[in-house]
């Protein structure tokens, strides 16, 4: 049996097929989207834990750095305060040394005034007027010294103190015990509690050997 040949499409059908094929060729084919596998909760927890550990380590390092810087600051501040106090003490000591040096040059003038006062014995009216003028100058000088903090020592009858007195002479004395100042040879002075000039003194050696060896009488 002889097969019949397939019928050829009509011109209209052929045209419709051609348009459909062209439209299908012009339409872009989207690639299939790959699906991401879902992230497991354990992985998320591990990532969060690592981040927290890192932040905690950074915080610890910052605290240690802060403590170190603060310690250095406190040490520098203490050193600067000590330096400031030391400079202030040095300046005060230098000031006192300069004052002592200057007053040390003036004290011999005061000594001469006192010697002259002891030797003067005015009798006439003119001599008395001169003596009053002298006394006025001497009082003015003493007042200036007082304003500067200078005060004289009172040493007679006091126990000998090498930090205050300079023993020039030592002699036996029945009236004073041993190592007692019996006479002031040159006046000493204080300056605000410190020694400006030591006092030159005569010191008792106590009763002499004759008095000590003499027997008691009834």
Nearest to 120 by CA among 103, 97, 137: 137
- Give the C-alpha distances (Å, rounded to integers) separating 23 from 11, 18, 29, 31, 94: 19, 9, 12, 18, 110
pLDDT at position 53, please? Answer: 86
The helix (run of H) or strand (run of E) holding residue 63 is helix 41-119
Q: Which residue has the tokens 């909760």?
A: 41
Q: Which residue has the tokens 């003028």?
A: 133
Q: Which domains does the chain have, with CATH numbers?
A: 151-210 (2.30.22.10)
Q: Is residue 218 very low, low, confident or very high in pLDDT (cuts 50, 70, 90)?
A: very low
| Ordered DSSP codes for 65-134 | HHHHHHHHHHHHHHHHHHHHHHHHHHHHHHHHHHHHHHHHHHHHHHHHHHHHHHH----SHHHHHHHHHH
- Give the C-alpha distances (Å, rounded to integers) separating 143 from 75, 76, 150, 183: 48, 47, 9, 25
Q: 140-190, pLDDT tens digit by residue?
A: 988 999 998 899 999 998 999 999 999 999 999 888 889 999 999 999 999
The C-alpha atoms of residue 168 and residue 199 are separated, in whole angstroms, by: 10
Give the single-character DSSP code of 53: H
pLDDT higher than 60, residue 99: yes
Q: Is the entire prediction scored with pTM above 0.85? A: no
Q: Is residue 117 very low, low, confident or very high in pLDDT (cuts 50, 70, 90)?
A: confident
- Tell me the pairing of strands 181-186 and 199-204: antiparallel
Q: Is residue 208 very low, low, confident or very high in pLDDT (cuts 50, 70, 90)?
A: low
The C-alpha atoms of residue 59 and residue 57 are separated, in whole angstroms, by: 5
181-186: strand order across its sheet: 165-171, 199-204, 181-186
Q: 30-63, pLDDT tens digit by residue?
A: 555 445 555 555 666 677 778 888 888 889 899 9
| Ordered DSSP codes for 16-38 | HHHHHHHHHHHSPPPPPPPPPPP
Q: Which residue has the higher pLDDT, 212 or 191?
A: 191
Side-chain-side CA neighbours of 11 within 13 Å: the count stands at 0
Q: Which residue has the higher pLDDT, 161 or 9?
A: 161
Q: Do residues 189 and 153 make contact, with C-beta atoms less than 8 angstroms apart?
A: yes
The pLDDT mean for the chain works out to: 79
């Amino acid at each position: 049996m002889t097969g019949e040949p397939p019928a050829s499409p009509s011109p209209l059908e052929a045209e419709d097929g051609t348009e459909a094929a062209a439209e299908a060729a012009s339409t872009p084919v989207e690639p299939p989207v790959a699906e991401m596998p879902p992230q497991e909760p354990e992985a998320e927890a591990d990532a969060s834990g690592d981040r927290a550990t890192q932040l905690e380590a950074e915080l610890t390092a910052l605290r240690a750095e802060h403590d170190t810087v603060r310690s250095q600051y406190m040490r520098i501040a203490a050193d600067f305060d000590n330096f400031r106090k030391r400079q202030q003490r040095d300046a005060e000591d230098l000031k006192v040394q300069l004052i002592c040096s200057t007053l040390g040059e003036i004290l011999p003038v005061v000594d001469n005034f006192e010697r002259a006062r002891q030797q003067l014995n005015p009798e006439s009216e003119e001599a008395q007027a001169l003596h009053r003028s002298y006394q006025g100058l001497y009082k003015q000088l003493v007042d200036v010294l007082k304003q500067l903090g200078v005060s004289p020592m009172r040493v007679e009858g006091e126990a000998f103190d090498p930090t205050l007195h300079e023993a020039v002479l030592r002699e036996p004395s029945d009236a004073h015990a041993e190592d007692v100042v019996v006479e002031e040879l040159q006046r000493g002075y204080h300056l605000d509690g410190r020694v400006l000039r030591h006092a030159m003194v005569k010191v008792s050696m106590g009763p002499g050997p004759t008095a000590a060896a003499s027997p008691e009488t009834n």
